[in-house]
Amino acid sequence: MSLPSSLRIDAARAAVSLSPTDAVFVQHPYPAYRAIREACPLFFWEEYGCWCAASHQTVFDLFRDRRFGREVLHVASRAELGWPEPQAHLAPFDAVDAHSMLEREPPVHTRLRTLVNRAFVTRQVERLRPRIAALANELIDGFEGQGGVDLIEAFATPIPVILIAELLGVPVEMAPQLLDWSHRMVAMYQFSRSRSIEDQAVAAAQDFSHFLRGYVERRRAEPRDDLISHLIAVEAEGDRLSEEELISTCILLLNAGHEATVHAIGNGVKSVLQAGLGRDEVVAGGEALVEEMLRFDPPLHMFKRYALEDVTLGPATFRKGDQIGLLLGAANHDPHRFEEPERFLMTRQRPPHVSFGGGIHFCVGAPLARLELEVAVPILFERMPSLRLEGTPVYADTYHFHGLKTLDLRW
């Protein structure tokens, strides 16, 4: 595959110019990652204005390096960092982010993660296996007789959003609205965003928060066996989630859990078909199939962290408050860690891909995402053994996310 025309590598300066919206890069990022990693695995990405890591070992280590974190204002003021004041029109969106455990560091993160784990992890994700299987079969029933389908719309999207809705305890009929809020909020994190995208995200954050406040009030009065009720009731050493933290947690579980899983399914099925795997291999694939789908074409390609102190790493010098981008897609294709990384191989011996992050911010929803893939994808191939791609799948221009616009299949 060809390299993006916008790619310029200055190995002497460890600097790279590459437009994240370059059409070739959007569709095939891995050749560019390879060229960059071979020249300067730690490099300054000019379009982002920050250093980025493309090697597996560096990304793996940086997830666990306590000199870096997801926030920095707990150790420095805006004035000290030379940052401007927050933009007023983003205040409602920022208010949701401010209470998200994904954006916090210890001790706040430790407290939030402990409380959420007690409510979420102890709900025994494994018990959802029959529900995922039933849902996958129901969805296939709806399109099996059509001869063709966009798998993103008909299968990959409904599974995670319906499951999250059921876990939260909100009506499944709300799924289209939840999707709309999620899409508008998540658009804030892509490389190119406009004032219109910002305004849409703010409106979504306000509407989503208002909706959840109403549900929280109802569940306080009438608790049920759902995640909102468990989050309200959970307690550790006298601590509880505040209402703002509870709402941010519910939004995080939907936005992160839904968006990533949709594209993990879509990218994974595409990879399996392009690798020429048949029904029997997929059905018997189990954990090995899931881990290779997640490694080979992950749905998230960049995770940023702040330097919490002055740090020097190789050619890079960080001042407190500087950011570094951890390139998950590049790390997952590092030949120093993965033999023949460009091949889809289920025979790998549990390689430690970084698709779920690492360290204290390792994805809290990873067990559920893995289960959805492990159950739904084999059912799809078992019931539709003659699945094949129709045309060339096209990825959306939404870097640092990496997911298909559509996945058109025939049988």
Can you give the pLDDT at residue 122?
Answer: 58
Residue 128 token pair:
């959802």
What is the average pLDDT score of the chain? 95
Q: What percent of the chain has pLDDT over 70?
A: 99
Mean predicted confidence (pLDDT) in 102-128: 87
Can you give the pLDDT at residue 192?
Answer: 81
Return the beta strands (E) in 14-166 as ranges.
15-17, 42-45, 50-53, 68-69, 148-150
Can you give the pLDDT at residue 106?
Answer: 95
Can you give the pLDDT at residue 123?
Answer: 62
Which fold would CATH assign to domain 8-410? Cytochrome p450 (1.10.630)
- pTM of the entire predicted model: 0.95
**DSSP string across 53-81:** E-SHHHHHHHHH-TTEES--TTTS-HHHH
* Predicted confidence (pLDDT) at residue 256 exceeds the cutoff of 90: no
Least confident range of 203-212, 256-265, 391-400: 256-265
Q: With contact defined as beta carbons under 8 Å apart, do 369 and 264 qualify? A: yes
Mean predicted confidence (pLDDT) in 143-161: 97
Q: What is the pLDDT of residues 274-295, one digit of tens each?
A: 999 999 999 999 999 999 999 9
Mean predicted confidence (pLDDT) in 252-269: 91
Separation CA 361–CA 2 (nearest Å): 35
